[in-house]
Amino acid sequence: MEEPLNQPNFEAGRGGRSGSSRPRSAESANSGHANAGVDQPHAVFEILGQAYPDAHCELDFSSPYELLVATILSAQCTDARVNKVTPALFAKYPDAAALAGANRAELEELIRSTGFFRNKADNLLKLGPALLAYGGEPPKDIDELVKLPGVGRKTANVLLSEAWNIPGLTTDTHFIRLSNRLGWVKTKNPEAVEREVGALFDPSEWNRLDQRLIWHGRRRCHAKKPACGACPVAELCPSYGTGPTDPEEAAKLVKE
């Protein structure tokens, strides 16, 4: 297995936190885990895989077209909210041709609750005709996908990985936050995170890594108050202590 390019700084999370309820010290964690001292990224990957064996994209879809539309709607919105909107949306606009002929007012009303609905309607109204130029289906090529209205690298990578199981790292807000907290990168630039974290893992691992980090970010490693005291990778995390370390307090923060 390849050496990681960025060795995590295990000192980073420990200053001024003596007496915390960390289960073991970083040093003992390293010695207690077969690979942790030399391959923390893969140790985290494996542990999160055990913690979230069913990690998957939480948007509901039945085709690449539906996934693309749902992903565009998920900007600044929860997947759960998008999933409430898309059944009626896909019933009315089941394909690119129907979307191309959508009435703006009707479309806006259907997607209003996802927020930023006017901008999203703009993109969807342009997306229909743009997809027709590809035969009505999203292209399986990131360079072509990012030419579509409302589609950046993040959305394009969702399509690649979830619709076709092509390796792609979706550097959403959770992925970027966790990659920094775990010591893998020191940047919030999505493309730099994609490039640097991508270099730590084999492309065959990217899709699973993506889902595991995103699930962990949604359930435990929250932006404001991460549940450090209830975190399966606490022993390996240089940011341990960013959130409550008391197990009972942390358990209350966990969202299942």
Judged by beta carbon, residue 143 or residue 224, the one nearer ligand SF4 is 224
Relative orientation angle of helices 64-73 and 117-132, to the nearest 10 degrees: 160
Q: Within 164-183, which residues bind ligand SF4 (CB under 6 A)?
A: 181
Stretch that binds ligand SF4, among 45-53, 82-90, 153-161, 230-238 (CB under 6 A): 230-238
**Smallest separation (angstroms) from ligand SF4 to the CB of 239:** 4
Question: Does residue 231 bind ligand SF4 (CB under 6 A)?
Answer: yes
Residues 79, 120, 140, 154: which is the catalytic one? 154
Q: Which of 39, 172, 202, 210 is catalytic?
A: 172
Q: How far is the CB of 188 from ligand SF4 (least distance, A)?
A: 16
Smallest gap, in angstroms, from Cβ of residue 175 to ligand SF4?
12
172 in active site = yes
DSSP code string of the chain = -PPPSS---TTTTTTT-TT---SS-HHHHHHHSTTTTT-HHHHHHHHHHHH-TT----S--SSHHHHHHHHHHTTTS-HHHHHHHHHHHHHH--SHHHHHT--HHHHHHHHGGGSSHHHHHHHHHHHHHHHHTTTTS--S-HHHHTTSTT--HHHHHHIIIIIH--------HHHHHHHHHTTS-S---HHHHHHHHHHHS-HHHHHHHHHHHHHHHHHTS-SSS--GGG-TTGGG-TTTTSS--SHHHHHTT---
| Among the listed residues 10, 96, 228, 244, the single contact to ligand SF4 using CB under 6 A | 228
Tell whether residue 111 is a contact of ligand SF4 (CB under 6 A). no
At 242, which amino acid appears?
T
**Minimum separation from the CB atom of position 233 to ligand SF4 (A):** 5
The residue from 165, 240, 252, 256 that contacts ligand SF4 (CB under 6 A) is 240
Is 39 a known active-site residue?
Answer: no
Compose the 188-227 pattern: x for residues touching ligand SF4 by CB under 6 A, - for all others: --------------------------------xx----xx
Spatial separation of the C-alpha atoms in residues 82 and 72, rounded to whole Å: 10
Comparing CB distances to ligand SF4, the nearer of 162 and 172 is: 172
State the catalytic residues. 154, 172
Residues that bind ligand SF4 (CB under 6 A): 181, 220-221, 226-228, 231, 233-234, 237, 239-240, 242-243
